[in-house]
Amino acid sequence: MCKTKMAVDAFTPNSRAPSSSRPTLPTPAAAAASSFDPSTSFTSSAVYSGSSGFKLTSDTSISSGASLASFRDSLPENPHIYDFSEICSATNNFLAKRYSSSSSTPSWRCTLRGRDVIVFQRKFRRKLQTNQNELRERLSVICRSHHVSIIKLVGACISGDHIYLVYDFVNGANLSDCLRNTKNLNFTVLSSWISRMQVATDLAEGLDYIHNKTGLNLNFVHNHIKSSAIIVTEPSFNARISHFGAAQLCGEIDEESENAKQMEEIAEESSSSQSFTKSKGVTRSRSSNMQFEGVRGYMAPEYQSSGMATQKSDVYAFGVVILELLSGDEPLKFKYNKKTGEFVSNSVIDTARAVLDGGGGLGGRLRKWVDRRLKDSFPVEVAEEVARVALDCVHVDPDKRPSMGRVAGKISRLYLKSRIWSDRMRTPTDILSTSFAPR
């Protein structure tokens, strides 16, 4: 049994050591044996700057340490830096049964320091030695971010070229399985319109928080928005986004792609790229130190052509998930053509556009397109508005896609409309009575 070590206080300054003597992460060779040293303390301090929230700075002093200690109890817990031996012990040297066989990322459900967690194994996409300070800062920010629609990152462990991300375990099922039950195609737990609007609202608000409200003026990108990465919980069918922070900590996000100049270049390239990649996953390399991965059906056109993940590519993936919610279909379906002997792909985006842009008789086409398991019980006008919001999100030009703040506002308004419709359609059972007595 390995010896459990205490967590690291990520925000407590080390006043004894100058800024030039900050502890450094081990080299890949040394990390494979010892991983992170839990006794190592981060040397960044937190400074409040109005609406921008808390900013990490490298300046430390006795007075700043005292002020930080005074409000430490009011802040969320510090990130845990796990020793590699703890991860090995909890997962039985990674021989324990994996939590999800459908996930491309190995994961294990286990108990760490008395907490029920999920451990995800990911590989670094950039050289670790050049991003030590950035990694420490972002781990602190991500672990201290809290939102009801986001599964919390508890801590991490680094060993060699891999990082092990530890998230809270959330009891539920992923959205893909909720929509498409392989054992019973006619069944879905999301059998009511309001349950699907609840999922859409939670997803929009969670992604808006990631993009705009994490603080510290950092432009976070999720880069893994897909139906299988969204956990639906009972009994209210609330949605929780998983893998938050994985893209930043693993080096999947190119910082240069987040400025306006690069976005303009991406928009020009995307206008000439219309083809969908048919492979399940695509790996692109822009340099010897950077690699990108995407999932079939959720990748924006500019992401396929340039390999740059941005907030606009998150918006695109969100739009695809919303169309999944409405239709119940997969993002991409392949049908065999007997005449040509080839498989023809059909995306949920194409079918949605055909329904909404087909001219008259929209109501009838929409009812045929919306998931039949809703049993034709949904507000047609609201469903049309939700579909149009989703199509705005999947626009081929990233500059013409709305921000998640604007999308979240629209989805929230449509949820209220759906709630009013649901209340009107509900049978007033409290004023009805039945008597079987003789009259």
Residue-wise pLDDT for 53-66, tens only, equals 444 444 444 445 55
Confidence of residue 289 (pLDDT cuts 50, 70, 90): very low
Fold of the domain built from segment(s) 19-168: Phosphorylase Kinase; domain 1 (3.30.200)
The distance between the two most distant Cα atoms of the chain, rounded to a whole number of Å, is 93
Average pLDDT, integer, range 194-215: 92
CA-to-CA separations, 239 to 46, 92, 165, 175, in angstroms, rounded:
31, 31, 20, 8
Q: Is 320's pLDDT higher than 70?
A: yes
Confidence of residue 27 (pLDDT cuts 50, 70, 90): very low
Average pLDDT, integer, range 7-29: 44
Q: Which amino acid is residue 207, in one-letter code?
A: L
Q: Indicate the SS3 state at residue 199.
A: helix
Strands 45-48 and 153-159: unpaired
What's the whole-number average pLDDT of the chain? 75
Domain positions in the chain: 19-168, 173-422
CA-to-CA separations, 259 to 99, 102, 255, 395, in angstroms, rounded:
38, 35, 8, 20
Residue-wise pLDDT for 32-50, tens only, equals 444 444 444 443 444 444 4
Which pLDDT value is given to residue 255? 52
Q: Is 297's pLDDT higher than 70?
A: yes
Contact yes or no for 353/246 (Cβ under 8 A): no
Tokens at 283, concatenated: 């790996």
Confidence of residue 276 (pLDDT cuts 50, 70, 90): very low
Which pLDDT value is given to residue 438? 55
Residue with the bigger pLDDT between 341 and 372: it is 372
Contact yes or no for 258/283 (Cβ under 8 A): no
| Number of Cα atoms under 13 Å in the Cβ half of residue 354 | 10
Question: What sign has the CA pseudo-torsion 139, 143, 147, 152?
Answer: positive
Q: Select, from the ranges 129-138, 202-211, 273-282, the one with the highest average predicted confidence (pLDDT).
A: 202-211
Fold of the domain built from segment(s) 173-422: Transferase(Phosphotransferase); domain 1 (1.10.510)
Contact yes or no for 266/398 (Cβ under 8 A): yes
> DSSP assignment of 163-195, as one string?
EEEEEE---SEEHHHHH--SS-TT--S--SHHH
Provide, rounded to the nearest whole percent, the portion of the chain with pLDDT above 90: 41
Q: Which of 126-135, 147-156, 197-206, 236-245 has the lowest mean pLDDT?
A: 126-135
Provide, rounded to the nearest whole percent, the portion of the chain with pLDDT above 70: 66
Contacts 24+ apart (CB under 8 A), 50-59: 52/215, 52/216, 52/217, 53/215, 53/216, 54/215, 54/216, 55/216, 55/217, 56/137, 56/140, 56/141, 56/216, 58/19, 59/19
Confidence of residue 81 (pLDDT cuts 50, 70, 90): confident
Q: Which of 25-39, 194-208, 357-371 has the lowest mean pLDDT?
A: 25-39
Type and span of the H or E element at 91: none
Q: Is 148's pLDDT higher than 90?
A: yes
Residue with the bigger pLDDT between 27 and 422: it is 422
Cα–Cα distance, 69 to 46 (Å, whole number): 11
Of 344, 336, 339, 419, the closest CA to residue 379 belongs to 419
Cα–Cα distance, 430 to 8 (Å, whole number): 55
Contact yes or no for 299/277 (Cβ under 8 A): yes
Q: Is 94's pLDDT higher than 80?
A: yes
